[in-house]
Structure 1
């Protein structure tokens, strides 16, 4: 699982019926320096991810998302998805190792 900040939403004109009731978010993955300052909305230099969300995360929220084969685990049948929102992080305390 990786942590990231929601920076936007994707609007689709058509989508697969398996995705009904949810939405797609644009998420900026958080790096170690960003984890130490979670209150600052800094967009990561790494590529943003498009994440399937059925939990209701909004712009500015920090989420935990999974990618790859693990992202398809919540679905009953094979579903074409690359990233899935697994958690909305309410409080983040990060202490880097010395």
Structure 2
């Protein structure tokens, strides 16, 4: 699982019925430096499937690859990234 910051949402004109009910977020993955506020710790944005209702500015925990489809077993969905949690606070030492 990785941590990222939501910077926007994706609007679709049509959606596969397998993924209806969720939204698509534009998320910037953060390294430890990014969590501390360093702009160099921000990676290229990715699109993440969300059923939890995260909004722009929120920090989320997301999974990628095969792990992204696991919450939907045995009816797997064709996802590359899935929002697993919305984070309230993050403490970085």
Per the normalisation by structure 2, the TM-score is: 0.90
1:53 aligns with 2:50: yes
Segments of structure 1 that go 5 or more residues without pairing to the other structure are none
Question: Which residue in the other structure is 2:80 paired with?
Answer: 82
Q: 1:28 — aligned with what?
A: 28
What SS does structure 1 have at the residue aligned with 2:63?
strand
Q: How many residues align?
A: 91
Deviations 1:48-73 (A, max 9, x none): 11000000000000000000000001
Give yes or no for the alignment of 1:7 onto 2:7.
Answer: yes
In the TM superposition, residue 36 of structure 1 has moved relative to its aligned partner by 2.0
Moved over 4 A (4+): none
Helix, strand or coil at the partner of 1:65: strand
Report the 3-state secondary structure (helix = DSSP H, G, I; strand = E; otherwise coil) of the residue aligned with 2:71.
Answer: coil
What is the aligned partner in structure 2 of residue 70 from structure 1? 67
- Superposition RMSD in Å: 1.6
The normalised TM-score by structure 1 is 0.85
Q: Unmatched 5+ residue regions in structure 2?
A: none
